[in-house]
Structure 1
Amino acid sequence: MRIGILGTGNMGTALGAGWRAAGHEVLTGGRRGPVSLAEAGRFGPVVLLAVPATAVVEVLTHVPAGVTVIDCTNEVTPGFGVGHPYARIVAARPDLAVVKGFNLCHDSVWRLASRTFGGRALAVPLCGPADAVATVRPLVTDLGCTPVDGGGPERAALLEATAAFAIGLWFGGADAQAILQPTRTDGGVGLMAD
């Protein structure tokens, strides 16, 4: 698949390298450098939006209508509150199919040779229109991860809030991963009291 990446920072570089290794054609564009945002925005049917949350609406002017956009941005406000870049994107560009995903892990996770931990592949929740989520799902699998259907566009705010909450825990010194218990061996889920 041809994937355009808007942003030359850590997330765009890390995810782009993983998709290239999986055989995808990737073109990364930025404000400075040999490839412009406009070139990357027009490159393929999927575009990764990997810029600061404050720039999402401006940068999307470089993406033509009908493209599937993956929004991996987080907007953590003072006190580890949450902003909602997904809602701003959808309001500004209703002609795009926007999927929230890849926003729960630091870029260093995407640079690892394997994203399997304790024998389990990393799960990547995706929120957005069902057809767009179906387009993005194989891109999760190609990185050695498990795609998780997080629901429609109305649930993207929950995914953004989850990231802000986890980041606040990490900065506070807590092991945020430990708050979610693994699935039990008997097939039940360990999150609810028996």
Structure 2
Amino acid sequence: MRIGILGSGQMADALGTQWRRAGHEVRTGGRSGGLREAAEFGTDAVLLALPYAAVAEVVGGLGEALRARALIDCTNPVGAGFRLLTAGGPAGAERIAAAAPDAHVVKAFNLCHVDVWRLTPPVFDGRPLAVPLCGDDPAALDVVRQLVRDLGCEPLNAGGLDRAGLVEATAALLIGLWVGEGADAQAIAPPLAHAAGY
């Protein structure tokens, strides 16, 4: 696949490196230059790996360069005190979709620290990491599912883009528990056999 990455920080580097290892062509552009070129290059997918505060303006300015692209949103609208910046309004991913109406936004890769995405593969206690995906376009979701599998992870269907706010709120909760409390946040979820009352 041809993947464009908007951003040149740690998430861009970690995911871009893994996708190159998997045999994909990747081009990165930062806020200082090359964003349009990266978006145009990413004919299969474009990863949005910029700070949340900048994303709506950036994607809004790219217009046609994002047309029909799978636009992967790994951002987290989390502010001071691990608070969700979008509480009471549209999810961050929905705001991105409104700013880039010709793209097919898929929420993914936002629940883990960058160091997790550097693992080859991210497997814990023999279990591959699961990555929830929210999106409305079946073809874009198929692309992102493949990119998840290329990392050695398992894609999970988390619903349409209207459920992206739940994934973003989960990120705010987990970050607060991990960073703010030093807690083992994974321990809040029982195994499936007990979670569903089987």
**In the alignment, is the contact (CA less than 8 A) between 1:56 and 1:85 conserved in 2?**
no
* 1:24 counterpart residue number: 24
**In the alignment, is the contact (CA less than 8 A) between 2:66 and 2:100 conserved in 1?**
no
- Distance between the aligned counterparts of 2:37 and 2:194, measured in 1? 46
- Distance between the aligned counterparts of 2:103 and 2:74, measured in 1? 15
* 2:176 counterpart residue number: 168
The alignment's TM-score, normalised by the length of structure 2, stands at 0.89
- Distance between the aligned counterparts of 1:192 and 1:145, measured in 2? 23
SS of 1:79 mapped into structure 2 = helix
Q: Higher helix fraction: Structure 1 or Structure 2?
A: 2
- Distance between the aligned counterparts of 1:14 and 1:56, measured in 2? 19
Residues 1:120 and 2:127 are matched in the alignment:
yes
**In the alignment, is the contact (CA less than 8 A) between 1:6 and 1:51 conserved in 2?**
yes
- Distance between the aligned counterparts of 1:88 and 1:121, measured in 2? 31
Shift of 1:193: 4.5
AA in 1 matched with 2:191: P
**1:10-159 to 2 correspondence within 5 Å?**
10-32=10-32, 36-45=34-43, 46-60=45-59, 61-62=61-62, 63-83=65-85, 84-131=91-138, 132-159=140-167
Q: Bigger CA drift: 85-94 or 147-156?
A: 85-94
**In the alignment, is the contact (CA less than 8 A) between 2:120 and 2:152 conserved in 1?**
no
Number of aligned residue pairs = 187
SS of 2:41 mapped into structure 1 = coil
AA in 2 matched with 1:52: P
SS of 2:46 mapped into structure 1 = strand
- Distance between the aligned counterparts of 1:74 and 1:42, measured in 2? 24
- Distance between the aligned counterparts of 1:106 and 1:90, measured in 2? 24
AA in 1 matched with 2:27: L
The alignment's TM-score, normalised by the length of structure 1, stands at 0.91
Segments of structure 1 that go 5 or more residues without pairing to the other structure are: 184-188
Name the CA shift for 1:101/1:180 in 2 (closer, same or farther; >3 Å).
Answer: same
Q: What stretches of structure 1 move > 4 A for 4+ residues in a row?
A: none
* 2:190 counterpart residue number: 181
For residues 50-108 of structure 1, the C-alpha deviation after alignment (integer angstroms, 9 at most, x for no partner) is: 00000111221233311110000001123322133212111222211000000000000
- Distance between the aligned counterparts of 1:122 and 1:143, measured in 2? 9
Q: Percent identity?
A: 56
